[in-house]
Amino acid sequence: MFWSAALAADSTPRPVSLDEAQKTANDAAGWVETNWSIWLSNGLRMVLIVVIAVVMRSLVRKAITKLIARMNRTTDHLDGTALGGLLVNAERRRQRSEAIGSVLRSVASFVIMGTAALSVLSVLKIDLAPLLASAGVAGVAIGFGARNLVTDFLSGVFMILEDQYGVGDEIDAGVAKGTVVEVGLRVTKLRGTNGEIWYVRNGEVKRIGNLSQGWATAGVDVQIRSDEDLDRVRGVVARVSEEMQKDEPWNERLWEPVEVLGLDAVYLDSVVVRVSAKTMPGVATSVERELRWRIKRALDAEGIRIVGRPPEADLETTQSADPTSGVAAPSALANPTSPQSQATTPIPSGQPLGK
């Protein structure tokens, strides 16, 4: 204790001898001479890994960009043609291509730079096992906490790759229905019928009904009196179909002649004639409205009457036509001379009770 305190109190630096200094310098020079080649080789390896990773990342991203641009150019010559009208529009192709290109570039950058970082750490003689184990545990924890975000992202990727819908399509996503305005990897933006914007998470979509792919069907129900000549009605509808197919823009929207499918329902005083037509996707509603307009005018010109009220309204009117349907059943208590009414009459206060 005494000697330790004395040595601690004595802070005066001791003189270093020439032999000790020369020995320390020789040891340092020998250590540098022994390890400089390792330092140089490791440094050159790390620089080479980083340079190769950066060059490879740049080449892969450029290749993906050129591939996406070539995919867009192969379909540009179809714009304005009949075949181009059946395919997706330019905005849809552009957004879909940009989304696919963004995903591919991000994946390529992550794989290349991640591999380069692991290679640099291995050159530095850093044990990667604990690092990889910690990264795996952290990844599991983050994935569990952000599982909804991961689900939305993966669902968006597969929706874009499978081309389930695109910009301009009329879809029914279950939770919302409208026209697709924007397709993202996490959220799809829809424009509703009243102009509202719906933000639908891709992971929440369980089913997709695309109303803009392939073709659509326009259906119109014509309810006429039961005593009308059905062959005459068929002729009127056929004439309307021929006229409509010759007019702009209905000649492009109608892909097949309007067809009278037959009687859809038969009632006591009316019948329902079903009229159908195959149209281009997304215009079935407008074709139905125009077809109703033309059929109504043609039937009026021919003197064919259209039943204005549905059969359910006629049935309700017939059932409620009985004036006694709302009258209650007669009661014996309503007659004051009946035994039932006299039995319920209160006893006067001065009258003695019988034995």
DSSP secondary structure of 234-279: HHHHHHHHHHHHHSTTHHHHB-S--EEEEEEEE-SSEEEEEEEEEE
Q: What is the pLDDT of residue 319?
A: 47
Helix pair angle (230-246, 284-302), 10° resolution: 130
If phi > 0 it is left, if psi is from -120 to 50 it is alpha, else beta; for residue 352 that is beta
Long-range contacts of 307-314 (CB under 8 A, 24+ apart): 307/223, 307/224, 307/225, 307/269, 307/270, 310/223, 311/265, 311/267, 311/270, 314/269
pLDDT at 321 over 60: no
The distance from CA 129 to its chain's CA centroid, rounded to whole angstroms, is 41
Q: What spatial distance separates the first Cα and last Cα of the chain, rounded to whole Å? A: 126
Q: What is the mean pLDDT of residues 254-278?
A: 85
Q: Give per-residue pLDDT as tens, 286-304.
A: 888 988 898 888 888 888 8
**φ, ψ for residue 304 (rounded to 5)?**
-90, 120
Q: Give the global pTM.
A: 0.49
Residues 248-273, mean pLDDT to the nearest whole number = 84
Is the Cβ–Cβ distance between 168 and 96 less than 8 Å?
no
